[in-house]
Amino acid sequence: MSLAAGMARGLGIEGFELRKGKGVIGGLSHCQGRPSPRLRLGTGVDDIATIKSMKQRTLAREVSIQGSALHSGEAVTLTLRPAPSDHGYVFKRVDLSGAPEIRPRADLITDLVRATTIQSGHAKVQTIEHVLSALSGCGIDNVVVEMNASEPPILDGSAKPFVDLIMSGEPIEQDKDREYFTLDAAVSVTKGQSSIIALPCDELKISCTSADDRGIHTQHLSLTIDPDIYMTQIAAARTFTIYEDIEELLKLGKIKGGSLDCAVVIRGDKIISKEGLRFKDEFVRHKILDIIGDITLLGLPLKAHIIATRPGHAINADLTKALAEKLLERQKGPKKKPRPAMVMPDETALDIRRILDTLPHRYPFVMIDRVVEFIGEDALVAIKNVSINEPYFQGHFPNNPVMPGVLQLEAMAQAAGILMLRRGSSEGKTSLFMSADKVKFRKPVRPGDQLILNAKLTKTRGTKLATAEVTCTVDGQVVSSGELMFAIVDSSAVD
């Protein structure tokens, strides 16, 4: 029987099946047979609810459940299998060739229309938020979720059947400690009339306001989430939809397996359900259930205070992605403080990295390997290690390799330039070689030599012009020398 036939003749909406059971129409304040908020969810709940362990947890044995998928309508068997420490959650599509595995991560999200879908390669799983919510809410860290279809069974539209399944699998502690992502700075996202912010907190707390587009059925709830609270206050809350949205969802190929067995339908100020509301604020509780499921795609249990206004899968995903970026930054470690692009007054020597920070030159025209020491403010000692691998030796000269004199002169200019840049504020500055005088080349410099440069400023004109005397030696003997003039200019002038 169609929903139209079961609820109101002639409405012409097909595909949303009303199975056996009597529909209930009533105001939100009237819910017959509603269980106590301290709902008992199955054998063993009291045992797990009191556990505050920081150890990782898995299941003692595998457990399975069957049902129909909400959107695809397919019959599906879902099996939870134990997994080792640090394994995390992994979905396994046993119906596909090779039984591909998909680890739920925010960067794999592909579709967020009334469900959360992730895809890796040709394998995808959808509507995963309820089973992930149950696993996270029950404090399970490591499990393989096997399915023979693309979507878990919707069951009664809540996470309660998955909680019961988890409990039947006998959760057990593992050797390793649980690792949390504890937020240390606010993260917020906004999408239309929806907003969600995560604030630093030493536990997981969710404050949620749920409302539809008409501003009615507004509900608010704030809870600190632990296994006890989750299983008694959140897990039984069912998914819901606005009556007017059903036809459009069917046109999109969604909710093929939907019925009043697995959803609450809101029509105006009335609710349509096979049973009364399980909580007077069941809608906001289900929104919290979905948030818990969606943020598991972060990859680690979260400690934060989430404040959500009119949340949905799309904005939940945006928050999770923003949190994932924060987590990745933390895993990479603190950013290294960038080295200054100038010679600092307190530096007594420079290695090659600092030379590259200071000079614009790059291979093969970096002619200084190290500044060994600065002598006062006007002198320095630098070295250039001359290697047979220098590109100029291929032609200067192949059978008698000699370092060209003009490159020795370039090394003198670079040494003197560093010395001048050290005298004042050199940020954004560079030195330009202007002229050379009294240049002499006394001995050849060959591969294997270490060229030692002694540079001393002799004249300066403010902070823009200077003259320096530079002497180059190898093994204590002078090989070249000269007097150089150079200018300090803005780096932008030579770009």
Distance CA 95, CA 104 (A): 18
Residues whose CB falls within 8 Å of the CB of residue 213, separated by 6 or more in sequence, listed in order: none
DSSP string, 94-131: TTSTT--EE---GGGEEE-SSS-EEEETTEEEES-HHH
CA distance 433 to 227: 72
Concatenating the DSSP letter of every residue in 47-85 gives HHHT----EEEEESS-EEEEEEBTTT--EEEEEEEE--T
Q: What 3-state DSSP class applies to 375? A: strand
The string over 275-310, giving b where at least 16 C-beta atoms fall within 10 Å of a residue's C-beta and e elsewhere, is bbbbbebbbbbbbbbbbbbbbbbbbbbbbbbbbbbb
Q: Among 95, 86, 81, which Cα is nearest to 55's?
A: 86
- One-letter amino acid for residue 156 of the chain: D
Q: How many angstroms separate the CA atoms of 5 and 291, rounded?
A: 34
Shortest CA distance to 414 belongs to which of 485, 334, 359?
Answer: 359
H helices then E strands: how many in the chain?
10, 26
Show which residues are catalytic. Answer: 313, 396
Q: Backbone dihedral region of 60: left (phi > 0), alpha (psi from -120 to 50 degrees) or beta?
A: alpha
Q: At what angle do helices 129-137 and 160-168 cross, to 10 degrees?
A: 50
* CA gap 219, 216 in Å, rounded: 9
State the Cα–Cα distance between residues 98 and 301, nearest whole angstrom.
30
Phi, psi of 347 (to 5 degrees): -80, 130
